[in-house]
Structure 1
Amino acid sequence: MGFRGADVKILDLSLRLFVIPFNVASIWIAVKNKQDNSDYGKLEFNNLIGLKYMVCISAISAGYALFAAVSSYLRCLLTKAWLFFVTDQVLAYLMVTSMAALGDFLYLAYNGDQVISWSEACASYGKFCSRLKLALGLHVISVCCFLVLAVISAYRVFRRFEPPFVPSKECEQERT
Structure 2
Amino acid sequence: MSSLGNRKVLDMRIRIIELVLRCVILGLGILAALRIGTDTQVREIFSFQKKAKFTDMKALVFLVIANGLVACYSLIQGLRCVVSMVRGSVLFSKPLAWVIFSGDQVMAYITVAAIAAAGQSAVFSKLGQPELQWMKICDMYGKFCNQVGEGVVCAFVVSLSMVILSCISAFSLFRLYGANKKNSTSW
- Change in 2 beyond 3 A, CA 1:8/1:109: same
User: Which secondary structure state, in structure 2, belongs to the residue aligned with residue 160 of structure 1?
Assistant: helix
Matches within 5 A, 1:43-122: 43-72=52-81, 73=83, 78-79=92-93, 80-122=96-138
With structure 2 as the length reference, what TM-score do the two structures score?
A: 0.82
- Report deviation, 1:78: 3.8
Counterpart pick for 1:31 among 13, 20, 37? 37
Count residues in correspondence. Answer: 166
Deviations 1:117-139 (A, max 9, x none): 10110110111111111001111
- Report deviation, 1:45: 2.0
Q: Distance in 2 between matches of 1:90 and 1:156?
A: 17
Counterpart pick for 2:18 among 8, 12, 20? 12
Instruction: State, as a whole percentage, how many aligned pairs show the same letter.
Output: 23
User: Which secondary structure state, in structure 2, belongs to the residue aligned with residue 37 of structure 1?
Assistant: strand
1:131 has 2:140 as partner: no
Counterpart pick for 1:150 among 147, 162, 166? 166
RMSD: 2.2
Q: Distance in 1 between matches of 2:43 and 2:28?
A: 29
Q: Which moves more between the two structures, 21-30 or 42-51?
A: 42-51
- Report deviation, 1:144: 1.3
- Report deviation, 1:161: 2.2
Equivalent residue number for residue 140 of structure 1 = 156
Q: Distance in 2 between matches of 1:69 and 1:22?
A: 14
Query: Letter of the aligned partner of 2:37 in structure 1?
Result: V
Q: Distance in 1 between matches of 2:171 and 2:156?
A: 23
- Contact 1:71/1:78, CA 8 A, preserved across alignment: no
Q: Distance in 2 between matches of 1:78 and 1:111?
A: 49
Q: Distance in 2 between matches of 1:32 and 1:138?
A: 15
Q: Distance in 2 between matches of 1:149 and 1:62?
A: 13
- Contact 1:26/1:135, CA 8 A, preserved across alignment: yes
Mind listing any 5+ residue stretches in structure 2 that lack a counterpart?
Answer: 1-5
Mind listing any 5+ residue stretches in structure 1 that lack a counterpart?
Answer: 169-176
